[in-house]
Structure 1
Amino acid sequence: MGLEQHPASAASVDLAFNYPSLPGQAESLREGLRAIAASGDLDALLHSAPQGGRPHERQTAARHLRNREIRVAAEQVLIVNGAQQGLAVSLLALLQPGDILAVDALTYPGLKTLAQVHRLDLEALPQHNGQMDLDALQALCRRRPVRALYCMPTLHNPLGTVMPLAERRRLAQLAREHDLLLIEDGAYAFLAEPAPPPLQTLAPERTLYISGLSKSVASGLRLGFIVAPLEMIPALERAIRVSTWSTPSLTVTLGCRWIESGLVDSLEEQKRNDARSRQQLARRVLKGCDYQAYGSSYFLWLKLPEGRRADAVVAALEHQGVTVTSAEPFATTAHVPQALRLALGSIGLPLLEQALEKVRNEITR
């Protein structure tokens, strides 16, 4: 299933989930709500929006996505209740039970849960140096009728890798050769700048690009975006209608105002800097430990010393008041690495330093 199986207790220091919030964000929310209340255009907020958003809202989302080098017409953008719903809608609209979905051997737990709910056949692809094995993908496509591939080329969760441009081009070529639908998850892409162009720009006719503001702005702002080829839009709109009908107008209005004002751009830059500071702290505290991370991401992948079992380390740290996540929720095969994913974004730096010291002491004792 997913990480929701292992929530942090109220008394624990949370290194399992990322809820990064910067000083002043609550005041930004207060000011945004005041501005909406004073606008005099509240009647529209009392009515359901069209599936996928109103035209001007989709245009605003399209402008925001240019930050990720995605340049599409507003008609190709759908607004949803966060990137997770974007994934759910995409699977519901475009895949059938029993379809084969290729994924990394370590992948986003929420995708695993969705695949189970939709009764999809997951095929795990091995990874080398944190990158998808494209030779294995080609062999799989020759052996089985793969319908789609899910990936996180910028920035992989949990490994923190960014797929090089040459591999992106080869992946786009393989997708065309084998008629694969590409589902590109860009939830953490705002943290990796500059980055190679997204798959959506390399194979736009077969790529769904999914992202949102929950990671870059606030987890409570459930606002996401799907970029899709025009011919897929009607099916996606139907899936939105049968799942949640539409995204709440108040949420969309607030998110669009923040995009238009430049606040979202500012928060993304601040969070890249904040994440960079946290990675620098982790590098100092975990010196000598075997881990990998992107320099401005909010998580890291910590491999345990030989002989240490992740479940025992998780339990020991929980006893010390620190909640961490093992590799199990991310694994799509029976082979589960003895490793931890540490989320760095939910607590202040002094508390983070103390928690990382406990992790280091536990795995090196």
Structure 2
Amino acid sequence: MPRARYKQLVDRFADEIRSGRLPPGTQLPTHRQLAAREGLALVTASRVYAELERIGLVSGETGRGTFVRETALPLGHGIDQPPTTEGMIDLNFNSPSIPGQTGMLRQALRQLSISGDLESLLHYQPHAGRLHERAIVAQHLKHRGLSIPPEQLLIVSGAQHGLATTVMSLLNPGDVVAVDALTYSGFKILAEVHRLELVAIPVTATGPDLTALEALCKHRPIRAVYSMPTLHNPLGWVMNSEQRQQLITIARQHNLLIIEDAAYAFLADNPPPPLAALAPELTVYVSGLSKSVATGFRIGFIAAPERWIPTLERTIRATTWNTPSLMTAISCGWIEDGTVARLEAEKRGDAQARQTIAREVLKGFSVISHPSSYFVWLTLPEEVRADQVAMTLMTSNISVSTAEPFAVTDHLPHAIRLALGSVAIDSLKEALTQVRQAIERFAY
């Protein structure tokens, strides 16, 4: 098909969608129907829809077809920024907080102001953090089942910076990384910026399909696997011991780097040991205090094999030089005096209470979650479209995320993710009731 003809067809669809002649939710012809109607090869018809999807005008949904998307909803909704509209109810981003944390911060600042070590905080710090602070964090990680020397622990500016440092240090543009078909949106952005190729591992109700991962490794040059074995975001699973061992066996057999994201791991009671404890020679463990303490506390940490420490330190120097010393000092003080452990325990209880509310309000819907997590994956009824629900809620000042930010596959799952950690708990039931009503509005 001549390029001009192909372009004309894309432009015609685009004009009809933008003008409203093809309104949001319209189901377009199948690829075969479009090819027959326009006299195209099937591959060309597929290319037309792929181009429309790339520019954000349609979405392909597995087993359902291709639909005109709600273009008033920002492309990549749920990735870029937390809602900033005044009065917006945020079911999109998690920023869990416990009453009294502001007072705790005031007290910590007063205590720090009279410490004898204040002068040192005015100067550059070692790139990986001061050794005594690395030792404090290493001691903290023992409670998560990971025993590591302080010299193999690096302090960074939040878990996202830890992931970026790991990718920049140990992977190259063009490397192929296996990730769950639904995965953390921040890693997707990181992969895009660093020009990594992500390949999807199919997901099951209890974890990644590791048989499929093994098959991928035999046919693709997989360099690394990105995993959230404890409290997966967005699906909430905790991989059992057998799954962890199977993943490690595959990684060793195919010489894969494992990037273990443990940002939400503190919410799980007595999970199996981290991958980094089971396979320390090939795993980089990344976590932080943003969720367990406060999202404004950009303190994270990387635990890695000794041979990679110099490279990781060099990347920290190139990106931030060192983590802000004031926040590091407060965080380490809170680890030592038990404040972090207390906050983690309180937030586990808070998350459990919120999950109870969610299960009550969303009873009858297909809900996937962990009883201690701060998010819910809500599969929608067949006749309901996620972008329409999200747009309807946005007009009511409620922000939710569609599946788009989390999906690695070409076709989007028929679902939305609800973050439960930012709304005041006494307002959560009403907010979730409005979500239910928005879904029921489109169900017929």
1:186 matches 2:262: yes
In structure 2, the residue matched to 1:332 is 408
Q: How does 1:335-350 map to 2 (within 5 A)?
A: 335-350=411-426
Q: How does 1:114-263 map to 2 (within 5 A)?
A: 114-263=190-339
Change beyond 3 A, Cα 1:6–1:315 = farther
Point out the structure with max Rg over C-alpha: 2
Task: Name the counterpart of 2:109.
Answer: 33
Hey, what does 1:11 align to over in structure 2?
87
Q: Does 1:85 align with 2:161?
A: yes
1:214-240 deviations in whole A, cap 9, x for unaligned?
A: 000000000001000000100000010
Instruction: Report the Cα distance in structure 2 between the residues aligned to 1:5 and 1:45, rounded to whole angstroms.
Output: 32
Shift of 1:4: 3.6
**Residue 74 of structure 1 corresponds to which residue in structure 2?**
150
The offset of 1:2, in angstroms, is 7.4
Residues 92-132 of structure 1: CA distance to partner in whole angstroms, max 9, x if unpaired? 00001111111011100100010011111111111121511
Q: 1:21 aligns with which of 78, 91, 97?
A: 97
Q: What RMSD in Å do the two structures reach over aligned CA positions?
A: 1.0
Among 389, 403, 423, which residue is 1:313 paired with? 389
Per-residue deviation, 1:320: 1.7
8 Å CA contact 1:2, 1:109 repeated in 2: no
Residue identity matched to 1:51: H
Q: What residue in structure 1 maps to residue 369 of structure 2?
A: 293
Indicate the percent of aligned positions where both proteins have the same amino acid. 55
Question: 2:162 touches 2:302 (CA, 8 Å); kept in 1?
Answer: yes
What SS is found at the alignment partner of 1:342?
strand
Residues 92 and 246 (structure 1), Cα distance of their counterparts in 2 relative to 1, 3 Å cut: same
What residue in structure 2 maps to residue 266 of structure 1?
342
- Do 2:172 and 2:196's aligned partners in 1 also have CA atoms closer than 8 Å? yes
- The separation in 1 between residues aligned to 2:138 and 2:176, in whole angstroms, is 30
Distance in 2, Cα, partners of 1:6 & 1:239: 25
Change (3 A) 1:6 1:258: closer
How far residue 350 of structure 1 moved from its aligned partner, in angstroms, is 2.3
Aligned-partner residue type, residue 289 of structure 2: L
Three-state SS of the structure 2 residue aligned to 1:330 is: coil
> What's the offset of the Cα at 1:40?
2.5
Does residue 158 of structure 2 align to residue 103 of structure 1?
no
- Matched positions, count: 365
Distance 1:311 1:305 in 2: 13
Cα distance in 2 between the residues matched to 1:329 and 1:122: 14
Amino acid at match of 1:5: D
1:312 match: secondary structure: helix
Aligned-partner residue type, residue 383 of structure 2: G
Q: Whose relative contact order is higher, 1 or 2, with alpha carbons under 8 Å and at least 6 apart? A: 1
- The aligned amino acid for 1:246 is N
SS at match of 1:201: helix
TM-score w.r.t. the length of structure 1 is 0.98
Aligned with residue 139 of structure 2, among 41, 60, 63: 63
- Alpha-carbon distance between aligned partners in 2 of 1:274 and 1:123, rounded to the nearest angstrom: 35
Deviating more after overlay: 346-355 vs 151-160? 346-355
The Cα of 1:316 is off from its aligned counterpart by: 0.7
Structure 1 residue 273: deviation in Å?
0.4
1:327–1:336: 8 Å Cα contact kept in structure 2? Answer: yes
- In the aligned structure 2, how far is the partner of 1:319 from the partner of 1:98? 40
2: CA distance between counterparts of 1:10 and 1:236?
40
Secondary structure of the residue aligned to 1:147 is strand
Q: Which residue of 1 aligns with 2:28?
A: none
